């Protein structure tokens, strides 16, 4: 069965090649069918493999294809790893990916770059699958950089617009900063382990734990890898590219910047869980960065008025929760949240896309309102997703968020407290968004109102499927305290076994404590929703125009001025340094020195030339002097 594994990434790649080469002559419908079809077949294969794995018909296995880079004893094989973790990621990537391809067929139908769009989308899926399936860090890195490239191409998809191009460039460069960390992590692994293969590294790492030096090495490696993760998964301090990345077409935001690519960092840490478990310092750093990002981004989300920007900050914030989960040691919980988040966040973005589509490109919620009647399917599915992200049981978000928060409480009640606070913010800004968009009265132009329509079936069917998943997705891991069997935890146990064994707490939380924790977090969410209800339904208030905001609200609206800060402390100084190096060090110093030496040679020769007078008497005189000197030297 695992013989079919290579087909999973290859099919989207073939789709990319066909659409990429024939993009000029390919009819739009055919291009969409090829692109979606290739991902659909990959999904079916993933599904077959998954059931085989679940039923024990096949075991996790590494498939070797060829030696990619070989230098002496060091070898990077091109090989793919199929295990429980990659099996589930495959399902998310190809499943959600397929739905978004279908949706795009409707969304991008009238765009002149339609075929190019599908080629890029297929290429993205290919790289994402490589990232997930790679059996060593280098293959993962290929996928890692590859998805970054596709992200760059798709953010700047409408490259006539310079703001979009800047957003694309920013995304690529910020990711590269993280990638340098990732690369250095890989080098450190190579130097210390002599291999990049997961299985070999993890086996060797277990022997490392005993001594202090070993822990230092592992801490270094994991911190460097984590730097990579902060880039790709938009954590402090490298998160600023993600909100800007909303410049891309909305399906891209859903697929790349919400459901799949940005979770690559979590996947990477989960994949390396053994290394991380052995480096408690890194775990602590990760938990703190995660919760800080979660709160920080959530507060920004409170005051954004662009529908996609709200969702973008929400994504950053939710990714923060996932890192919190990783940091406090619940790899399963973090991965569970990756999964449920993929469902409801993809749904939110696609819903937003449907709204933007209907509103003829309008993205500002202050110009929307009362869309529930005109876009009923979008409305209902959007509500479901909003409830799911707010953590209201029994929707998907509740279970995954609860798992992370419960574990955070074990680790430190303070982390838990911040986590609950962030959850309150989340509920507030999401319901604010929902109310402003779909309730109240319509605030757009007359023309927009006239044009309002529900999206075509190609767009609404994916919404409905994702809505179902957002409702029931949480049931795969119902904790014991609620009478479930924690299926996901059991399924992933082979991958996380070592970490679970290592981080098992001395005494687990009692059921009563767990009920209380759940009660509080749900309670906070409900209160936040009620506040949003009072504010935007009862009081019917509409956010003030940008310049009217004062104090804290203004600070939030301007995203704490972090972008401005980065420009002031990094970009401008770097440009300045470049100019100074060129104008002063290069031209006025190094090159001037070269020119002076050249000029010096010419001047000296001009001086020496003056001796060549043609006067025989002088020559004879000089000769005599010379002879005297030579004789003098010989005698002495």
Partner 1 sequence: MIVAALILIPFIFGLISLFASKYAKYTSLVGALAFATISLGMVYTDLSTTATLNCNVPWVPSLGISLIFNIDGINAILLLLTAVITPLIIISSFSGREYSDNANFYALISFMQCALAGVFTANDLFCFYIFWELALIPIYFICAIWGGENRIQVTFKFFIYTIFGSLFMLAGIITLYLQTPAPHSFDWNVLNTLDSVDDLTEIFIFICFSLGFAIKMPIFPLHTWQPTTYAVSPTPGTMLLSGIMLKMGIWGFIHWVLPITPQSFIAWQNIFITISVTGIVYASVIAIMQTDYKKLVAYSSIAHVGMIAAGLFTTNIEGVQGAVIQMFSHGVNVVGLFFVLEIIHRRTGTYTIAHLGGIAHKAPFLSVCFVIIMLGTVALPLTNGFVGEFLLFTSLFKYQPVLCTTAGVSVILGAVYMLRMYKSIMLGSTNDITQNFTDITFEEKVVLVPICLIIIAMGVYPNMILSISEPYSYDIVNFIKDNRTDILTYINTK
Residues in touch with partner 1 (CB under 8 A): 66-72, 74, 138, 141-142, 145-146, 149, 152, 156, 159-162, 165-166, 169, 172-173, 176-177, 179-180, 183-184, 187-188, 190-191, 574-575, 577-579, 581-582, 585-586, 590-591, 594-595, 598
All residues at 6 or more sequence positions from 231 whose CB lies less than 8 Å from its CB, including other chains: 174, 175, 176, 177, 178, 179, 181, 182, 238, 265
What are the percentages of helix, strand and coil residues in the chain, rounded to 5? Answer: 80, 5, 20
- Closer to partner 1 at the Cβ: 191 or 497? 191
Least CB distance from residue 325 to partner 1, whole Å?
29
Least CB distance from residue 5 to partner 1, whole Å?
18
- Closer to partner 1 at the Cβ: 149 or 380? 149
How far lies 124's CA from each of 115, 144, 231, 443, in Å?
A: 14, 10, 18, 37
Least CB distance from residue 172 to partner 1, whole Å?
6
Q: How far apart are CA 306 and CA 325, in angstroms?
A: 29
Least CB distance from residue 68 to partner 1, whole Å?
7
- Closer to partner 1 at the Cβ: 598 or 626? 598
Least CB distance from residue 177 to partner 1, whole Å?
5
Nearest to 451 by CA among 316, 385, 382, 361: 361
Least CB distance from residue 146 to partner 1, whole Å?
7
- Closer to partner 1 at the Cβ: 565 or 587? 587
Least CB distance from residue 290 to partner 1, whole Å?
24
Q: How far apart are CA 114 and CA 149, in angstroms?
A: 19
Least CB distance from residue 202 to partner 1, whole Å?
21
Q: How many of the other CB atoms lie within 10 Å of CB of 324?
A: 32
- Closer to partner 1 at the Cβ: 169 or 366? 169
- Closer to partner 1 at the Cβ: 163 or 625? 163
Q: How far apart are CA 53 and CA 67, in angstroms?
A: 27
Following CA atoms 391, 396, 400, 402 in sequence, which dihedral angle do they give, to the nearest 10 degrees?
40
User: Cis omega (within 30 of 0) on the bond before 394?
Assistant: yes
Least CB distance from residue 574 to partner 1, whole Å?
7
- Closer to partner 1 at the Cβ: 87 or 140? 140
Following CA atoms 256, 261, 266, 268 in sequence, which dihedral angle do they give, to the nearest 10 degrees?
170
- Closer to partner 1 at the Cβ: 35 or 140? 140
The alpha carbon dihedral of 545, 547, 552, 556 has a sign of positive
Residue 75 gets the label, from left (phi > 0), alpha (psi -120 to 50) or beta, of beta
- Closer to partner 1 at the Cβ: 505 or 598? 598
| Helix ranges, 302-330 (H) | 307-327
- Closer to partner 1 at the Cβ: 156 or 251? 156
Name all contacts of 172-177 with Cβ < 8 Å and 24+ positions apart: 172/148, 174/231, 174/238, 174/240, 174/241, 175/148, 175/151, 175/231, 175/232, 175/238, 175/241, 176/148, 176/231, 177/227, 177/231, 177/238
Q: Name 67's bridge partners.
A: 77
Nearest to 59 by CA among 30, 81, 43, 41: 81
Least CB distance from residue 592 to partner 1, whole Å?
9
- Closer to partner 1 at the Cβ: 142 or 509? 142
Least CB distance from residue 160 to partner 1, whole Å?
5
Least CB distance from residue 159 to partner 1, whole Å?
4
Q: How far apart are CA 400 and CA 405, in angstroms?
A: 9
Our measurement of the distance from residue 305's CA atom to the centroid of its chain's CA atoms, rounded to an integer in Å, reads 23
Residue 283, helix vs strand vs coil: helix
- Closer to partner 1 at the Cβ: 71 or 210? 71
């Amino acid at each position: 069965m695992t013989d079919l594994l290579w087909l999973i990434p290859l099919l989207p790649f073939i789709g990319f090649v066909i659409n990429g080469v024939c993009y000029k002559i390919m009819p739009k419908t055919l291009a969409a069918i090829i692109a979606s079809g290739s991902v659909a077949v990959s999904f079916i294969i993933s599904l077959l493999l998954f059931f085989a794995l679940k039923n024990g018909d096949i075991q996790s296995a590494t498939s070797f294809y060829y030696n990619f880079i070989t230098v002496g004893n060091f070898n990077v094989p091109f090989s793919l790893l199929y295990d429980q973790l990659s099996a589930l990621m495959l399902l998310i990537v190809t499943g959600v990916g397929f739905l978004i391809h279908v949706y795009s067929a409707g969304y991008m139908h009238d765009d002149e770059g339609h075929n190019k769009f599908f080629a890029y989308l297929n290429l993205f899926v290919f790289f994402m699958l490589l990232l997930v399936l790679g059996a060593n860090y280098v293959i993962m890195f290929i996928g890692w950089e590859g998805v970054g490239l596709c992200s760059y191409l798709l953010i700047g998809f409408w490259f006539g617009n310079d703001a979009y191009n800047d957003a694309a460039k920013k995304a690529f460069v910020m990711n590269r900063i993280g990638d340098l960390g990732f690369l250095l992590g890989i080098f450190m692994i190579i130097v210390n382990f002599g291999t990049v293969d997961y299985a070999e590294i993890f086996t060797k790492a277990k022997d490392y734990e005993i001594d202090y030096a070993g822990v230092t090495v592992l801490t270094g490696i994991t911190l460097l890898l984590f730097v990579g993760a902060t880039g790709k998964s938009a954590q402090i301090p490298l998160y600023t590219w993600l909100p800007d990345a909303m410049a891309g077409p909305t399906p891209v935001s859903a697929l790349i910047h919400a459901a799949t690519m940005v979770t690559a960092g979590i996947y990477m840490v989960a994949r390396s869980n053994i290394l991380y478990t052995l480096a408690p310092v890194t775990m602590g750093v990760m938990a703190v960065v995660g919760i800080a990002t979660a709160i920080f981004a959530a507060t920004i989300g409170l005051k954004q008025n662009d529908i996609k920007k709200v969702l973008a900050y929400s994504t950053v914030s939710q990714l923060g929760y996932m890192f919190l989960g990783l940091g406090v040691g619940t790899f399963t919980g973090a991965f569970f949240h990756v999964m449920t988040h993929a469902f409801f966040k993809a749904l939110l973005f696609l819903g937003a896309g449907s709204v933007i589509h209907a509103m003829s490109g309008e993205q500002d919620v202050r110009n929307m309102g009362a869309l529930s009647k005109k876009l009923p399917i979008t409305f209902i599915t959007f509500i479901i997703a909003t409830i799911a992200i707010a953590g209201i049981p029994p929707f998907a978000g509740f279970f995954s968020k609860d798992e992370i928060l419960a574990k955070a409480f074990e680790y430190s009640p303070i982390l838990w407290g911040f986590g609950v606070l962030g959850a309150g913010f989340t509920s507030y800004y999401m319901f604010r968004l929902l109310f402003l968009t779909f309730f109240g009265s319509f605030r757009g132009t007359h023309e927009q109102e006239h044009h309002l329509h529900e999206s075509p079936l190609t767009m609404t069917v994916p919404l409905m499927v994702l809505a179902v998943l957002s409702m029931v997705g949480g049931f795969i891991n119902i904790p014991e305290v609620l009478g479930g069997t924690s299926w996901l935890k059991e399924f992933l146990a082979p991958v996380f076994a070592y970490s679970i064994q290592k981080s098992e707490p001395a005494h687990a939380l009692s059921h009563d404590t767990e009920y209380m924790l759940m009660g509080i977090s749900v309670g906070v969410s409900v209160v936040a929703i009620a506040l949003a209800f009072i504010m935007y339904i009862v009081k019917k208030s509409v956010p003030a125009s940008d310049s009217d905001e004062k104090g804290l609200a203004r600070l939030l609206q301007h995203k704490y001025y972090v972008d401005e800060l980065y420009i002031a402390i990094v970009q401008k100084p770097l440009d300045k340094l470049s100019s100074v190096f060129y104008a002063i060090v290069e031209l006025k110093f190094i090159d001037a020195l070269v020119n002076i030496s050249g000029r010096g040679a010419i001047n000296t020769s001009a001086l020496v030339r003056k001796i060549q007078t043609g006067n025989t008497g002088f020559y004879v005189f000089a000769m005599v002097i010379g002879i005297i000197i030579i004789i003098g030297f010989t005698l002495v």
